Chains A and B, each alone.
Chain A
Amino acid sequence: MSDVQKSLALHLGLLALLFVLQFILPAYHQGNLARIMVLATYAIGFNILFGYTGLLSLGHAMFFAAGMYGMGLSIRYFGFSPGPAVIAGIVAGVVLSAAVGALALRTVGVAFMIVTLMFAQAVYLTVLYFGEFTRGDEGFVIQQAERVFLGIDLSQPTERYFAAFALFSVCLLISMWVIQRPFGKVLIAIRENEERAQMLGYDVFRHKWGAVILSGTISAAAGAFYGLLFGYAGATFATVQYSILPLLWVLLGGAGTLIGPFIGALFTFYLIDIASGLTNAYMLIVGLVLVLLTLFARQGIGGEIRARLWKWLP
């Protein structure tokens, strides 16, 4: 089997497994997995920028929130049905990521991290500022009746699971496709040696900008789906915590691997799930894992697998 075929087998296999699990799992885990798949999609978005292009953004929550509020506000105030609402969320993501990218990409390294952090903070504060409409930290509920898409009631566990699954599969396949295209390969080249890529004649800025937009859009799609499927939009999702979490998921699962985002999201979810049963200081786990990862296992789980076992893992 060629490398491409092995990769396809693995990822399609994962999707098949996820599809089947819906029928096997007890309700609690089924709900968790739906959540995990949406969050893993967010991680996929983050991974495209961080894992594949090598740009660390500390402000991705702004894209997630843009999707969530784009979707939520259009249902709440403009009476959109779920389909157009999600599209509104995605469009919000595209616009925001294009604007932020155009500015932030003028900086590099640490400055880029701080700039993205600042923009995200500004977005969070803006959500609070317009609390009259967004209901700030408290957030607002999206009613069950508003979550019916083409006759399918997305608040029901099974329908919700499949919607999450659909989102995750589409975005996973998109990322798989992008990595194999010339565009994706240039992103990897930029990560590996940006000056060299530039001196080969590639317009590095435009490629990075494209990466930011793709990354932000997928993150926004995840945000839109999260709000829709779980019926709630709130400013918490725009806080720094939701910018750090995808970083944790991707680092843990393996930055720069296709499967890493899912593995990271899965592990972290259950780690936090178990931890919050023990203490209300469950973010301690996040802190410890981040420190341990960056000290000892920068490649994450996926990266270790790729280094030691399956060299073909994309």
Chain B
Amino acid sequence: MIASFEGAVTAAVLTLTALGLSLVFGVMRVVNVAHGEFFMLGAVLAWWIATAIGGHPAYGFVAALVVAPLLVGLIAALADMTILKRIDYDPERTIVATIGLLYIIQQVTLMTYGPEARPVEAPFNSRILLPLLDWSNGWPSLYYPTGWGAPSITSYKLFVIGAAAAVVFSVWILMTRTKIGLIMRATQLDGEMAQAFGIPIERVYAFVFGLGAALAALGAVLIVPIQQAHYLMGHDPLLLSFIVVIIGGLGSLPGTVVAAILIGMSDGIISVFFTPTLAKIIATMLVALVLVFRPQGLFGTRAA
């Protein structure tokens, strides 16, 4: 059960990150290889902000939670307007450009933040004991083991799961119930038609690109009290997000969410049976083979 809670935390953050990548691909039809770096930026900026504010960790954390994704979103929107727009969102050129962007962001972070990993304190972090089922009386009842080695989870981790769920829900509301969401979906379905209807595609794209990055950054801010902030931390989330988005189906948001939950949860379980390296090998081969043999993933309707 511990594994599944830990897995849920991983799944929560992964869902946010992958959702960002999926959104960008779904609406703009481009692959953003620098996505992991936006994640990393979220964590690093969270550290800057929390350190700058000081006092009770909660103040710094809340500030980071709001400001970091916003900043990262703005940086991403800027990158979209200066670079991606100029290359006309051509798929191949975008990949090359975002690879370049990856190195720029990563290395600038290295130059300013440095190569160390630095922790951010969680705003609250009490231990919550987990109940087990006791059948000794003939019917199930809960009992709470205590002492060393008792199963527990921290309140913060519960918060992460809850927060991620709330954000995913909000994104869903945004996409399906608001005008902005309608515009985004229209642009996704038929960019030219959307343009003919007077929708300012370029602004939509900048917004979507920024939103995608902000989601990743948000996920990073949530995880940074648990992990630490390090300039190379974007690599794994990028790979995992790729895996999620491809298996879930490129362009399908529900597919992304389902796949993220599956993969995030199973990551914990798989690590029980396989070494992390072997698990990663299986995962990457799975992605490759899915793309080769079933390009639409689990839910997607379009091949890449």
Contact = CB atoms under 8 A, between A and B. Distances in A.
Classify A-B as touching or not with yes or no (CB < 8 A): yes
B1 interface: no
A294 B96 contact: yes
A122 interface: yes
Interface string A276-291: 0001111110111111
Contacts of A280: 110, 115
B233 to A, nearest CB: 15
Contacts of B91: 109-110
B102 A56 contact: no
B175 interface: no
A282 B101 CA distance: 14
A284 B37 CA distance: 13
A295 B87 contact: yes
A114 B292 CA distance: 10
B287 A288 contact: no
B80 to A, nearest CB: 13
B132 to A, nearest CB: 36
Contacts of B278: 129
A125 interface: yes
Interface string A106-125: 11011101110011011001
Nearest to A287: B103
A103 interface: yes
Contacts of A125: 277, 280-281, 284
Contacts of A164: none
Interface centre among B92, B105, B111, B239 (most CB of A within 10 A): B92
A104 interface: yes
Given A125-B277, A281-B110, A291 B292 contact: no
A118 B291 contact: yes
B99 interface: yes
B106 interface: yes
Contacts of A286: 100, 103
B246 A114 contact: yes
A109 B31 contact: no
Contact of B291 (A107, A121, A129, A284): A107
Interface size bracket, A side:
35 or more
B95 A104 contact: no
Interface centre among A128, A283, A291, A295 (most CB of B within 10 A): A291
B288 A290 contact: no
Task: Report whether over half of chain A's contact residues are helix, strand or loop; otherwise say mixed.
Answer: helix
B99 A110 contact: no
Given A118-B285, A129-B277, A129-B281, A284 B104 contact: yes
A244 interface: yes
A58 B96 CA distance: 10
B108 interface: yes
Nearest to A129: B277
B291 A114 contact: yes
Contact of A284 (B31, B92, B111): B111
A290 B100 contact: yes
Interface string A134-157: 000000000000000000000000
Contact of A283 (B97, B101, B103, B246): B103
Given A111-B304, A121-B280, A122-B281, 12 more contacts: A107-B292, A114-B242, A114-B304, A118-B285, A122-B285, A122-B288, A279-B111, A283-B107, A290-B96, A291-B100, A292-B100, A294-B87
Interface of B: 31, 83, 86-87, 91-93, 95-97, 99-108, 110-111, 115, 239, 242, 246, 275, 277-278, 280-281, 284-285, 287-289, 291-293, 295, 303-304
Q: Lowest 8 CB-CB distances: which A-B pairs, in order? A: A287-B103, A290-B100, A284-B107, A291-B100, A111-B304, A281-B107, A287-B104, A118-B288
24 contacts: A56-B95, A104-B292, A106-B292, A110-B92, A114-B287, A115-B288, A118-B284, A119-B285, A121-B280, A122-B288, A126-B281, A251-B96, A282-B107, A284-B111, A287-B99, A287-B100, A287-B102, A288-B100, A290-B96, A290-B99, A291-B100, A294-B87, A294-B93, A295-B86
